[in-house]
Structure 1
């Protein structure tokens, strides 16, 4: 082979039609991601994009009919998972701790649309 994969550019999660404001509130206000401008040619499709770290993005795309991802999920790494847990509790966002993998501190949350998200402490 003369090629190799080098990074993930973006992850896309689906959301129901008309849910952009809910996505903004959850991913920007609660999780602290920065909303970024979608390319003009894609704006008519709806949805919203966020910057995640230095080079990755999270795209929330509109899907109709919508069905949340309950098993398939992105996994994000965060500094200070305990602080995030406190922050989630303050905002009434439930999380589930998972200790199945030794020496891996992780939780699962759901976005407002029921998509599963894993968060791993660094």
Structure 2
């Protein structure tokens, strides 16, 4: 197997993740991403044909939530978000009715999965040598 070296660009990280929500799901999203996770809601640019949605920013990450009329939540596919003080986040989520499932995940990381208020699967992880 030959490994090709690409040297004319560098990947720099993730700017945002985009998740679908059902029509009218903005309120539930504000509770989860804003109130529960402490992210700041951003003004959403007016897009032709937009059905709504909302956006949040926090910890160097943006989450764009878009309305889909035939919404189906992610049950397996999921974003994985790095967290500092993972155990504290797990307790907060559980205290607010979001069960967490701890897993093995990626070697060198502690992680758990949970679901947002519209049923999308999410992973939160923290390096064992913390950042």
Q: Under a length normalisation based on structure 1, what TM-score does the superposition of the two structures give?
A: 0.88
* Cross-structure match for 2:3: none
**Residues 105 and 111 in structure 2, CA contact (< 8 A), matched pair in contact too:** no
Structure 2 partner of 1:51: 57
Measure how far apart 1:43 and its partner are: 8.8
Q: Decide which moves more: 33-42 or 73-82.
A: 33-42
C-alpha distance in 2 between matches for 1:9 and 1:50: 12
Query: Which segment drifts farther, 38-47 or 110-119?
Result: 38-47
Aligned partner (choices 67, 90, 98) of residue 85 of structure 1: 90
Please give the root-mean-square deviation of Cα atoms over the aligned residues, in Å: 1.9
1:14 pairs with one of 20, 43, 47: 20
Q: Which residue of 2 aligns with 1:71?
A: 76
Give the C-alpha shift of residue 42 in structure 1. 6.0
Query: Unaligned stretches of 5+ in structure 1?
Result: none
> Whose Rg is larger?
2
Deviation at 1:8, TM superposition (A): 1.8
Determine whether 1:94 maps to 2:103. no
CA distance in 2 between partners of 1:117 and 1:92 (Å): 15
Superposed displacement of residue 101, structure 1: 4.0
How many residues align structurally?
A: 121
